[in-house]
């Protein structure tokens, strides 16, 4: 995985949510959660694995809606923050946090209804192998996102400390075909890069977001979106 040492540092975990999901970053957090929920609702009583769960943003949200969730991450500091979040939200009894490698998931075949992997594939050095392992443990559905090659993300990608892998739509289609997964839906969003939203106060970011969404509805902008949310069916 790219940037493992950076991602597992204590100081990164301490600042992760504040740097990414405060100010205008709240819009990103909200949109990502909408994408996950729209793909897998109803959530109650489902068995869900979240890969690269980080500080537990999605893990706690899914547990709060009645799912039984396992959150897996390679970073012990991130997992500590996830456990704190779960306790604060009153959902610790519905979540199991595990430190582990997404390339060797410690679960039997078809163990989960759904596997969620947000903010993961841009770090994957062997995305096909990771996707195959997710398919092995999922009985119904996999939800993940990718950052897109032909987008504003490519402008500042070189400056990211952990590195970042960008994907074309055709590349993801090949990955799905290799792992015998069926695309159910894909949503494209954010013409403007995440970094711009994070740097702005929420009211200013919200105004830009309205313009971004309006322009993003035009067919000509389909391949210029920064991120795609993929909803795929196992069987």
Here the CATH number for the domain that contains residue 13 is 3.40.50.150
Is residue 220, in this structure, part of any structural domain at all? Answer: no
Per-residue pLDDT of 8-43, as tens digits, reads 666 766 777 787 888 899 999 999 999 999 999 999
Domain annotation covers residue 203: no
- Model confidence pLDDT, tens digit, residues 169-192: 999 999 999 999 999 999 999 998
- Reported as a pLDDT band with limits 50, 70 and 90, residue 194 is confident
Q: Are 153 and 166 in contact (CB under 8 A)?
A: yes
How many domains does one find in the chain?
Answer: 1
DSSP string, 131-154: HHHHHHHEEEEEEEEEEBSSSTHH
pLDDT, residue 21, reads 83
Domain limits for position 173: 4-19+42-190+227-233
For 82-119, the DSSP string reads HHHHHHHHT-GGGEEEEE--TTS-SS-TT-EEEEEE-S
The torsion defined by the Cα of 231, 146, 108 and 98, in degrees rounded to 10, comes to: -120
pLDDT exceeds 90 at position 221: no
- Residues in Cβ contact with 210 at an 8 Å cutoff, skipping those fewer than 6 apart: none
Is residue 158 within 8 A of residue 204, CB to CB? The reply is: no
Domain annotation covers residue 148: yes
209 is a domain residue: no
β-pairing, 112-117 vs 95-99, is unpaired
Residue 211 lies in a domain: no
Let me know: does 98 contact 33? Beta carbons within 8 Å: no
């Amino acid at each position: 995985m790219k940037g493992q040492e950076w991602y597992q540092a204590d100081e990164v975990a301490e600042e992760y949510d504040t740097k990414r999901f405060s100010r205008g970053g709240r819009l990103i957090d909200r949109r990502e959660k909408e994408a996950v929920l729209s793909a897998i609702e109803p959530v109650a009583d489902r068995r869900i694995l979240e890969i690269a769960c980080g500080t537990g943003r999605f893990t706690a949200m899914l547990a709060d809606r009645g799912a039984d969730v396992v959150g897996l991450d390679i970073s012990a500091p991130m997992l500590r923050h996830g456990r704190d979040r779960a306790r604060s939200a009153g959902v610790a009894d519905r979540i199991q946090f595990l430190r582990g490698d997404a390339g060797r998931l410690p679960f039997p075949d078809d163990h989960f209804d759904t596997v969620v992997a947000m903010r993961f594939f841009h770090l994957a050095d062997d995305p096909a192998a990771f996707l195959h392992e997710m398919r092995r443990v999922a009985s119904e559905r996999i939800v993940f996102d990718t950052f897109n090659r032909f987008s504003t993300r490519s402008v500042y990608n070189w400056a990211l400390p952990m590195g970042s892998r960008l994907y074309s739509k055709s590349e993801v289609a090949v990955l799905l075909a290799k792992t015998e997964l069926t695309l159910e839906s894909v949503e494209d969003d954010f013409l403007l890069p995440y970094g711009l939203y994070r740097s702005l106060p929420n009211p200013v970011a919200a105004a830009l977001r309205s313009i971004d969404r309006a322009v993003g509805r035009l067919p000509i902008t389909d391949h210029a979106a920064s991120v795609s949310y993929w909803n795929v069916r196992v069987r």
